[in-house]
Amino acid sequence: MAVGVRRQQAAQTEAELKAAAVRAFDRLGYLNTKITDITAEAGRATGSFYTHFASKEALLEALLADLLTKGDESALTEGHSDDFRDRDAVRFHVAAFWTFYRRHRTIMVALQQASTVDTAFARRSQEMLEPDLRHIADHLRGLDLPGDPLLVASIFTTVISQTAATWLAGNGPDLGRELSDDEAIETLTSFIHAGIGGAPDRPGP
């Protein structure tokens, strides 16, 4: 017996459908993308979709699962300082998130879109993010914060993700030039570092 040629081909088709979906989402937006847009993009018959996914939402969840599984980017929380009085620690987090967002822009935007329409999706996304949020909140507690650690942590992540979403989608105001990743990361880092009260040049008592 061949080592599951059929299985392999099916797996490949599934992978091609996923890749085609990402391209379609990128071009049309998740909510505007029809099942036939995906199968057409993959060069397959309509019905083929349902051999692999129960629905467009299921496909998006599969893409999300892939993202979390590969999760080499959960290196987010390793090999660096978590002391946010230290500007470098803040910068590390900002850069990690920015890069992650840039790499997975299409899926991140699709998740946001799915969340606005589907309450269940919104809840699940929120639950997925809550641990990270509490993790950040924990590491904020040493600082001279402007408010409740969880609220500040929420602002912390919101400002990064929304800024990334806005600028990487090309929806920001016209600066008259390109916004480099480095400039965005530096500005966000300074803003947040000062905002959470971590400025190192505060006067002593």
Partner DNA sequence: TGTACATCAGTGAACGCGCGTTCACTGATGTAC
Residues of the shown chain interacting with DNA in the complex, contacts defined by CB under 7 A: 1-2, 4-7, 9-10, 12-14, 34-36, 44-52, 55-56
DSSP notation for the chain = --S-HHHHHHHHHHHHHHHHHHHHHHHH-TTT--HHHHHHHHT--GGGHHHH-SSHHHHHHHHHHHHHHH-GGGGGGSSS---TTSHHHHHHHHHHHHHHHHHTHHHHHHHHHHHHH-HHHHHHHHHHHHHHHHHHHHHHTTS--SS-HHHHHHHHHHHHHHHHHHHHTT-S---SS---HHHHHHHHHHHHHHHTT--TT----
* Binds a copy of itself (CB under 8 A): choice among 29, 34, 68, 71: 29
Decide if residue 87 touches a copy of itself (CB under 8 A): no
Binding mask 134-163 for a copy of itself (x = CB under 8 A): x-----------xxx-xxxxxx--xx--xx
At its nearest, how many Å lie between a copy of itself and the CB of residue 105? 14
At its nearest, how many Å lie between a copy of itself and the CB of residue 136? 11
27 binds, among DNA, a copy of itself, none (CB under 5 to 8 A by kind): none
Decide if residue 199 touches a copy of itself (CB under 8 A): yes
Binding segment (CB under 8 A) for a copy of itself, from list 2-10, 12-20, 94-102, 194-202:
194-202
Q: Which two tokens stand for residue 158?
A: 């919101």
- Which spans of this chain sit near a copy of itself (rule: CB under 8 A)? 29, 31-32, 112-113, 116-117, 122, 126, 130, 133-134, 146-148, 150-155, 158-159, 162-163, 166, 171-173, 175, 179, 183-184, 186-192, 194-197, 199, 201-203
